Amino acid sequence: MILTGLVIGALLGIVMQRGRFCVTGMLRDIFLQKSWRTFAALLVVISVHAIGLTALTSAGVISPNYPSFAPLAVIVGGFMFGIGIILAGGCASGTWYRSGEGLVGSWIALAMYALSASAMKTGVLKGFNSGMKQWDTGLTTIPSALGVSPWLFVIVLAAVTGVMVRHFLNREKNTGKPARLNGRPAWKKPLHVYTAGALVGLLGVIAWPLSAATGRNDGLGITTPTANLLNFLVTGADGKLDWGVMLVLGILVGSFIAAKSTGEFRVRVPDATTTVRSIAGGLLMGVGAALAGGCTVGNGMVQTSLFTFQGWVALLFIALGVAVATRIWLKPTVTQPATGEDGTYSTAQSLDHTVGATAPDDNSIDAAPTAGAPRTSGANVFSGFAAAPAALMVKDPAGAPSKKLTGLGDGYYALDSLGAVCPFPLIEAKDVMQTLQTGEHLVIDFDCTQATEAIPQWAATDGHEVTDFVEKGDASWQITLKKG
């Protein structure tokens, strides 16, 4: 029976990968883009979950155990988890499914997440974990505390969610649909984030009775299963290999299948900065989720749908952690190239996205290298455009295009975001677009899967025209925007 966890997990991995579904991005968008559009997708998950789980509970099919609210642990843990998911580049489920896309940074974060969660639940930090939870209010669900039926909360939540979804769908209709990749068959196109949200919620409802049938009285969950997987691998204890472990392994398998079949899988090795952040983020995620009693799935999707104090307070403080971490770490890079004594840049410095220390030998842009292939000195990742004649650039001219850009001639400028993890391709694109004139073009090369949705969505919202959007190889894309 525990194999049903593998099936549900695989379906969940496929839906999340095809829907670019990650709660980190949903919370991050509130503070980074001042948009609640994707957060509405999380409310879709919670609403579908709430309707299904409340119905199953009312019918006696399931009997959830509602956690008692321990404020200190939930608040501190939620805040730590929120910071951790920004550093790691994804929430708990997001880290699992992005691992299936080949992101080595997610592999590292996942290993640290498993290690710290295991230490908190059964290892050297178990005493700290239990000590933080000593302040226990005894409160469980909000409806029981108020003495009302949970169906009242279900109806209100569903109504609020419906209003928000309708609002953002109407806005999409009025501003125009975001551009899609040229020439891609329908089955390879990503799921709309609201469709993905509804499917995740439905899978969560189905998951609970299947899990309960194996003796695990719970639904979707990531933190405890991830810790149990590590404990099983280290100790070989059969009791750790349960339905939840099959679920998280299924997410990895499903995501890999989805990514591989659509050309979105490629092993991508992070740079040193991303690696360090992945380590720190993973450790904070495990500690924070163990303290809070769950992650963005266990608390943010399941406990919120049960209307527990723990679920909603944890989600609030996860969001606050995301807000703080977004403000600190999610900023565009600042380029400060060296200048000569005369205050001008050399030709190589003017073409500051040319790889290597020397300038190109001619005025043409080399063809893009094969995806995943190492870049050679002097090679440029942009192809199909003629380069502007080589010339010295005056130091920081007022109103000039960003020095992060490579001039391609005829009003075209290129931004190399290959290797940058999300949301940095979007952050950098927004930053450099401000330095261009209306009608000029920005050509972006990137290999972050989530940016295939985020960049076109931003372009549609801000009034920029997508004139070209193509695949350049496995998990590698190029999009051209005309500034509106």
Nearest partner of 52 among 251, 203, 187, 197, judged by Cα: 203
Per-residue confidence (pLDDT) for residue 336, from 0 to 100: 52
pLDDT > 90: percent of the chain:
78
Per-residue confidence (pLDDT) for residue 175, from 0 to 100: 80
Per-residue confidence (pLDDT) for residue 239, from 0 to 100: 85
- List the structure tokens of 224: 């405890």
- Residue appearing with tokens 């979105």: 264
Nearest partner of 140 among 313, 309, 312, judged by Cα: 309
Peptide bond into 332 cis (omega under 30): no
228 neighbors 23 (Cβ within 8 angstroms): no
Q: What residues in the chain have per-residue pLDDT under 70?
A: 335-399
Angle between helices 92-99 and 23-32 (to 10 degrees): 110
Per-residue confidence (pLDDT) for residue 242, from 0 to 100: 95
The residues with which 141 forms a beta bridge, in sequence order, are 308
The span from the CA of 23 to the CA of 220, in Å, is 14
What is the number of other CB atoms lying within 10 angstroms of the CB of residue 61?
12
Nearest 10 degrees: CA dihedral of 102, 210, 112, 69? 140
The span from the CA of 452 to the CA of 418, in Å, is 13
- List the structure tokens of 405: 């850009």
120 neighbors 295 (Cβ within 8 angstroms): no
Q: How does strand 412-417 pair with strand 441-446? A: parallel
Buried residues in 350-388 as b, exposed as e (16+ CB within 10 A): bbbbbbeeeebeeeebbebbebeeebeebbbbbbebebb
Per-residue confidence (pLDDT) for residue 166, from 0 to 100: 97
The span from the CA of 82 to the CA of 320, in Å, is 7
Per-residue confidence (pLDDT) for residue 184, from 0 to 100: 79
Taking the model in full, what pTM does it have? 0.85
> Selecting from 3.40.30.10, 1.10.3210.10, 3.30.110.40, 3.40.50.2300, what CATH number does the domain 344-482 have?
3.30.110.40
329 neighbors 87 (Cβ within 8 angstroms): yes
Catalytic residue among 91, 295, 422, 448: 422
| Distance, C-alpha 235 to centroid of its chain | 32
Concerning whether 422 is annotated as a catalytic residue, the answer is yes
Per-residue confidence (pLDDT) for residue 312, from 0 to 100: 98
Q: pLDDT tens for residues 337-380?
A: 444 434 333 333 333 433 333 333 433 333 333 333 333 333 34
Per-residue confidence (pLDDT) for residue 366, from 0 to 100: 37
Per-residue confidence (pLDDT) for residue 381, from 0 to 100: 44
Amino acid symbol at 404: K
Per-residue confidence (pLDDT) for residue 352, from 0 to 100: 42
Per-residue confidence (pLDDT) for residue 380, from 0 to 100: 44
Domain positions in the chain are 3-329, 344-482
The residues with which 476 forms a beta bridge, in sequence order, are 473
Q: Which backbone phi and psi does 108 adopt, to 5 degrees?
A: -65, -45
Q: What three-state secondary structure class fits 141? A: strand
The residues with which 268 forms a beta bridge, in sequence order, are 103
Per-residue confidence (pLDDT) for residue 393, from 0 to 100: 40
